[in-house]
Amino acid sequence: MQGSRVRWTLGEQIDQSRRTLGSMLDALGLGPIETPARVVRVGRVVTLKAYGDPRAVTPPLLLVPAPIKRAYIWDLAPGASVVEQCLRQGLRVYLLQWERPSAAEQGYGLAEYADRLLLDCLDAITADTGQSGAFVAGHSLGGTLAAIFAALHPDRVQGLALLETPLHFAPAGGALERLVAVSPPAAFLGSLLGNVPRAFLDLVSVAASPQAFVWSRWLDWFASLPDPEARRTHLRVMRWTLDELPLARRLFEEVVDGLYREDRFFGGALVVGGRRAGPEQVTAPLLSVVDPRSPLVPPQAFLAFHAAARSLDTRVLWYGGDRGVALQHVGVLVGRTAQRAVWPEILRWIHAHWPVSGAAPGQPAGG
């Protein structure tokens, strides 16, 4: 009990120092500048925000962030906003905002985060738009959850866009998988930590890839110094890193052991809420965006998944990174090159698969 109290106190002190630094950056005008939104669903662990006219005859798109991150990285500021890009192209946009899990929600795992909560969001989008299916775009672990959902509910996903998303784990050789391979079972760590605090997740991230989470930040900062816009975006991303969320204990255990260590999703052995999920159950058009230099999501972490999926249309977009993004892992969301070159391609892909001819979710338009 005393050990738990010490861990709680230390975690609170670290969190408080991060909140204080975040408030200082906000006072300097470096907080997010978000697009006005409607809230269409509020529930345990998740809030769903909506943008655009729900009555418009345009594609609905659900954006899924990683559950340890605040959602506003998708809408950081004008010029560094996926939401802004999508609205400019007429989409009806829905942003899933993960909330802090309580002690009572330690038992929330993939059955909630990759199934029930996403299904609740799709139901809310249906109620808002009258459309039974939607396009889904996920980043990092949010993309992994979206892919599992697409396997469980192929009838609800019109198209699946995955950004810097690992899908094939154990043999892929990514930085996180290498760290997991030499770590104790996640259930042991979960028994010590409960809901896994963000300070611990930060330490794990740095241990897994100091290149991605430490050295690249400094290199990006020096590269951004001559460019005021790049400097502002870099600092806004750094402010966002102070807003991470704890991870529900069960989700942590199932992701680390079931996905990263045992590669159950790619192997078709993942069971979520009593149902099996594997890549061959993904039938929606599938697009992945990846930085080939990434130490976190190497190409082999998703290419084999593309080959195993039963999607009639699969596409890969290669993204070479940006200046002024602090973390290259989020460059695809906030970087100028991504905004100028990658997202127009994604949006053309979405419009091309919008079922103007009455195609059902999971089938190409006109199919």
CA distances from 361 to 117, 331, 356 (A): 19, 29, 12
- Asked if 338 and 331 count as a contact pair (C-beta separation under 8 A), the reply is yes
Distance, CA of 90 to chain centre = 22
What pLDDT, on the 0 to 100 scale, is given for residue 2?
A: 43
Q: Could you give the CA distance from residue 94 to residue 367 in angstroms, rounded to a whole number? A: 26
pTM of the model: 0.89
How many domains, the chain? 1
161's tokens: 């866009």
CB 206 within 8 A of CB 214: yes
Q: Could you tell me if residue 91 is inside a domain? A: yes
CA distances from 181 to 174, 176, 267 (A): 11, 9, 17
More confident residue, 13 or 125: 125
Ranking 2-6, 97-101, 230-234, 333-337 by mean pLDDT, the lowest is 2-6
In the chain, the amino acid numbered 300 is: Q
Helix (H, G, I), strand (E, B) or coil at 94: strand
Q: Is residue 357 part of a domain?
A: no
HEC sequence for 270-288: EEECCEEECHHHCCCCEEE
Each residue's pLDDT tens digit, 242-294: 887 888 999 999 998 899 889 999 999 999 999 999 999 999 999 999 888 87
Q: Which residues contact residue 228 at a Cβ distance below 8 angstroms, ignoring those fewer than 6 apart?
A: none
- The CATH number assigned to the domain holding 212 equals 3.40.50.1820
Does residue 287 lie in a domain region?
Answer: yes
| 143 pLDDT more than 70 | yes
Residue 286 and residue 313 in contact, taking contact as beta carbons nearer than 8 Å: yes
Provide the residue range defining the domain that includes 167.
2-352
Sign of CA dihedral 193, 146, 144, 281: positive
Q: How confident is the model at residue 173 (pLDDT cuts 50, 70, 90)?
A: low
Nearest to 118 by CA among 168, 87, 156: 156
Question: Exposed e or buried b for every residue in 236-275, given b needs 16+ CB within 10 A?
Answer: bbbbbbbbbbbbbbbbbbbbbbbbbbbbbbbeeebebeee
Residue 338's alpha-carbon distances to 5, 322, 334, 344, in angstroms, are 44, 8, 7, 9
Name the pLDDT band for 4 (thresholds 50, 70, 90): very low
pLDDT at 155: 95
What is the reported pLDDT for 1? 41
Domain for residue 366, yes or no?
A: no
